[in-house]
């Protein structure tokens, strides 16, 4: 075959299949072959569904050949994160607790992909229950960064990011609670989009932090992210937090020019010595390119997202402290359902009562990071500490939200770092949970405020590792952010990065 299927973007492949330049089965086989040959080194996938994918691709091809109506993703293979339920395969959340769990229903986001004609290749690895920043907390296996297999791919959506970077799928779906789409996108040199909280239904997404979790796409470029977001977004009666607002045609609106110069805010709290030199240099290059493209830059302030540096170099932030109190409290509540009774792992040890059954089952099957977050969350919600920690965190969360509201009176979007540094080495931070948490220092504020964030590749370091940045916008500014992302790609010329090219 003369067509290099794996070099195509999602939009290009969808168009090629629609024109019948290539069949869905041919595209699916190309990716299944690549997964079989290359994923043993990367280990991005937890499960692959070759027979289901081939059957689905053949059905789509038959419908296309018959001239029947099909969706905008007709025949295009997609990977999904292993915390989205499906009525096929397993939904494990990369946890021993759910390693044999077969969900009885399919998540709304996955259902929308199927309605659009997508072919599901498989489910990708992640930090257990999405709790982590490197995918090293997976109980399944260790996913490696395709740019340098001694480095982590980021987390918690590290499997989706690695699969995209290695082109083991043309697009993948992740989830973002405090940066879990945007941070691995930065580490792996792909585009990652976290829409406004509630813009995409969370029905069928295994809950971690219910007031923070959001599903989003990971793609090769902004146009692909726009297409997937158009498909995934929309109100869902089964999700009480889903926003009842119409969905814009994000793909069509990419072509709308800016009538006035785009005003880009630079939060002064993010451009400090806490930001690594290589990341800062690439951001400075992007700012120069965007100025040349006619953008205007405005200094703004996010005082409650301030990053402090102690004399010993240790970083701290109100936002990080606030986020980890809120997310751990919600994790403690959400993970109470894993009790060894309803589903999932149940201890085989002899037990005398239900409390021992509950305790042993959780102790045996949950990983250290998950246990840590349950314990800390339970502590902050306990009598005598609720007001001192949880209620105070909610007040700080409101102040963070108000900071963004005030800043957006001066700018249209903000240009921020995604991570303080490029991808770190496997095992480098596993012994220090706090240092791992601080890796999300630039991403968590958007989740606390419910704002959309678009992670974009921003170049490569001298060692050849990707550097990422992110555009953050007001609530429901998805169309604006995606248009700004297209402008970024055009101005910088940085798009469709791929290891080895």
Active site residue 133: no
Around Cβ 199, how many Cβ atoms within 10 Å?
Answer: 24
CB-based contact 452:198 (threshold 8 Å): no
DSSP for 430-478 reads TT-HHHHHGGGTTTHHHHHHT--EEEEEEEE-TTS-EEEEEEE-STT-H
Active site residue 305: no
Catalytic residue, from 180, 201, 242, 305: name it. 180
CA distances from 458 to 66, 228, 297, 308, 411 (A): 44, 22, 18, 25, 21
Active site residue 156: yes
Helix (H, G, I), strand (E, B) or coil at 77: strand
Catalytic residue, from 24, 81, 160, 361: name it. 81
Helix (H, G, I), strand (E, B) or coil at 263: strand
Helix (H, G, I), strand (E, B) or coil at 291: helix
DSSP for 174-202 reads EEESSSTTHHHHHHHT-EEEE--TTSB--
Spell out the residues 6+ positions from residue 128 whose beta carbon is closer than 8 angstroms to its own.
93, 94, 95, 137, 138, 139, 366, 367, 369, 370
Catalytic residue, from 95, 156, 230, 361: name it. 156
Separation between Cα atoms, residue 377 and residue 267, nearest integer Å = 30
CA angle centred on 296, ends 295 and 297, rounded to 5°: 120
DSSP for 110-133 reads HHHHHHTT-EEEEEE--SGGG--S
Residues marked active site are found at 81, 156, 180
């Amino acid at each position: 075959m003369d067509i290099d299927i794996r070099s195509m973007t999602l939009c290009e492949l969808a168009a090629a299949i629609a024109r019948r330049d290539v069949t869905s089965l041919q595209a699916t086989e190309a990716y299944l072959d690549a997964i079989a040959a290359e994923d043993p080194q990367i280990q991005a996938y937890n499960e692959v569904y070759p027979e289901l994918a081939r059957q689905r691709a053949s059905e789509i091809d038959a419908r296309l050949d018959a001239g029947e109506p099909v969706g905008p993703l007709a025949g295009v293979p997609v990977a999904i994160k292993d915390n989205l339920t499906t009525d096929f395969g397993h939904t494990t959340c990369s946890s021993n607790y759910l390693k044999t769990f077969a969900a009885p229903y399919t998540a709304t986001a996955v259902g929308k992909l199927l309605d659009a004609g997508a072919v599901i290749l498989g489910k990708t690895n992640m930090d257990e229950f999405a709790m982590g920043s490197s995918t090293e907390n997976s109980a399944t296996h260790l996913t490696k960064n395709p740019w340098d297999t001694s480095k982590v791919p980021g987390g918690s959506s590290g499997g989706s990011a690695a699969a995209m970077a290695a082109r083991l799928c043309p697009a993948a779906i992740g989830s973002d609670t405090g940066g879990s789409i945007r941070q691995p996108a930065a580490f792996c040199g792909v585009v990652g989009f976290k829409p406004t909280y509630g813009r995409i239904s969370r029905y069928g997404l295994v809950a971690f932090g219910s007031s923070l979790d959001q599903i989003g796409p990971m793609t090769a470029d902004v146009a692909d992210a726009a297409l997937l977001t158009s498909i995934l977004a929309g109100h869902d009666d089964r999700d009480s937090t889903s926003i009842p607002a119409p969905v814009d045609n994000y793909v069509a609106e990419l072509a709308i020019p800016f009538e006035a110069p785009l005003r880009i805010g630079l939060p002064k709290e993010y451009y400090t010595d806490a930001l690594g030199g290589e990341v800062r240099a690439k951001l400075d290059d992007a700012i120069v390119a965007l100025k040349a493209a006619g953008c205007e830059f405005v200094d703004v302030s996010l005082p409650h997202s301030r990053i402090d540096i102690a004399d010993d170099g240790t970083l701290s932030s109100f936002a990080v402290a606030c986020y980890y109190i809120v997310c751990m409290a919600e994790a403690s509540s959400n993970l109470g359902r894993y009790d060894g009774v309803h589903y999932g792992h149940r201890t085989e040890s002899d037990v005398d009562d239900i409390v021992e059954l509950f305790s042993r089952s959780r102790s045996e099957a949950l990983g250290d990071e998950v246990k840590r977050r349950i314990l800390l969350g339970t502590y902050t919600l306990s009598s005598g500490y609720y007001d001192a920690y949880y209620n105070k965190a909610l007040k700080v969360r409101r102040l963070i939200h108000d900071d963004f509201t005030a800043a957006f009176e001066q700018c249209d979007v903000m240009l921020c770092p995604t991570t303080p540094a490029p991808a770190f080495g496997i095992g480098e931070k596993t012994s220090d949970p706090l240092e791992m948490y601080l890796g999300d220092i630039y991403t968590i504020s958007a989740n606390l405020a419910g704002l959309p964030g678009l992670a974009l590749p921003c170049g490569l370091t001298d060692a050849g590792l990707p550097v990422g940045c992110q555009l953050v916008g007001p609530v429901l500014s998805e169309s604006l952010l995606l248009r700004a992302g297209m402008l970024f790609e055009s101005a910088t010329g940085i798009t469709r990065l791929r290891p080895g090219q």
